[in-house]
């Protein structure tokens, strides 16, 4: 048996590799996100599941797939999978790290620019009532030069963002559990500070931390109160890093100047009130939605699927299961 199930369509570069390897596979061809019932129905006798972040693979799902050997997640994050339980069952969990770094950093940079210069707000205006003409005080935004960008989480994406935004003349400070070495900081032109200092001093605060019990609701109302009233918040990492109810309150109370979100606390649902703020930009989780990144992600998951079926070594195992 070498059955592989893909719970969502992936770029054709991936399925072409499966065809070339002459492996038996099926792709979910329904509309929208696959339901739990449909997922279980399709993986009861498969060895490999290739799935995106929107596919929830919990204990109940895993228990219905006795032959499963690999869950290849199409994404760098894997919060959608009960990786610990998979390990107990001897099932490898892999992800697609690194390749989405540039795409996500580019989107974050775009959100920063768009929010600071009110680009989306201006686009809405011009698609509606329009404007009366140029005027000295009309539609003023803020330049990025000499502003402070605070980054929480200086991993690959945080570092890529720092490189990009330093070109705009921004001062960049960061916080994370472990400080980078001095040479890295010099190259990236960044300064290490405590998380509280970053939050208090940032003109733009961008989140790039993983979602853990400690980072859930990293930004709550108490934290928003510590920020500059002129500051913007950007989140293209994980939705639950922000307490969206607290974010709404902070925006209403003008504790902060605006926000740009690509991920959401209750994704795919969005807190309805956020849609009514002119100073909030909302994008549909498109951080790594570039042709280049998604093609590379497809190659990684499919090559791991092929390796698993053929008994070869896997790459990017995230649940600590040792290979034979």
Active site members = 238, 267, 285
- Report DSSP letters for 36-76, one per residue: HHHHHHHHTT-SEEEEETTS-B-HHHHHT-TT--EEEEESS
Q: Report how far residue 147's alpha carbon sits from residue 202's, in angstroms, rounded to the nearest whole number.
A: 8
Q: List beta partners, residue 192.
A: 174
What tokens were used for 75? 């994404």
- Contact between residue 152 and residue 218 where contact means Cβ atoms under 8 Å apart: yes
What tokens were used for 99? 């390749």
For the chain, the maximum distance between any two Cα atoms, rounded to a whole number of angstroms, is 71
What tokens were used for 90? 């001897």
Sequence-separated (6 or more) residues with CB below 8 Å from residue 185: 179, 191, 192
Q: Report how far residue 112's alpha carbon sits from residue 130's, in angstroms, rounded to the nearest whole number.
A: 24
- Contact between residue 227 and residue 255 where contact means Cβ atoms under 8 Å apart: yes
What tokens were used for 219? 């930004």
Sequence-separated (6 or more) residues with CB below 8 Å from residue 278: 121, 124
Sheet containing 148-152, strands listed edge to edge, beginning at the edge strand earlier in sequence = 190-192, 171-175, 148-152, 204-207, 232-235, 258-261, 280-282
């Amino acid at each position: 048996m070498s059955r592989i199930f893909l719970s969502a369509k992936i770029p054709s570069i991936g399925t072409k590799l499966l065809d070339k390897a002459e492996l038996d596979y099926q792709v979910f061809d329904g509309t929208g996100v696959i339901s739990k019932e449909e997922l279980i129905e399709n993986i009861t006798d498969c060895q490999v599941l290739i799935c995106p972040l929107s596919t929830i693979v919990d204990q109940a799902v895993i228990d219905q797939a006795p032959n499963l050997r690999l869950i290849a997640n199409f994404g760098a994050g894997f919060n959608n999978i009960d990786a610990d339980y998979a390990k107990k069952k001897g099932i490898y969990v892999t992800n697609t790290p690194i390749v989405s770094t540039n795409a996500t950093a580019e989107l974050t940079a775009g959100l920063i620019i768009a929010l600071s210069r009110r680009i989306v707000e201006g686009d809405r205006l011009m698609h509606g009532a329009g404007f009366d003409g140029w005027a000295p005080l009309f539609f003023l935004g803020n330049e990025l030069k000499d502003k402070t960008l605070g980054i929480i989480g200086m991993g690959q994406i945080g570092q890529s963002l720092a490189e990009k935004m330093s070109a705009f003349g921004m001062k960049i400070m960061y916080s994370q559990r472990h400080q980078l070495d001095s040479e890295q900081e010099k190259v990236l032109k960044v300064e290490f500070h405590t998380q509280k200092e970053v939050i208090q001093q940032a003109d733009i605060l961008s989140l790039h931390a993983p979602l853990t019990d400690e980072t859930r609701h990293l930004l709550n109302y108490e934290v928003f109160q510590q920020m500059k009233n002129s500051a913007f918040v950007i989140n293209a990492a994980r939705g639950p890093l922000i307490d969206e109810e607290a974010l709404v309150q902070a925006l209403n109370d003008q504790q902060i100047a605006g926000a740009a979100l690509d991920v959401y606390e209750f994704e795919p649902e969005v807190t309805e009130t956020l849609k009514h703020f002119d100073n909030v930009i909302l994008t549909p989780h498109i951080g790594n939605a570039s042709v280049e990144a998604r093609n590379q992600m497809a190659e990684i998951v499919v090559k791991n699927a092929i390796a698993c079926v053929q008994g070869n070594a896997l790459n990017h195992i995230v649940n600590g299961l040792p290979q034979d």
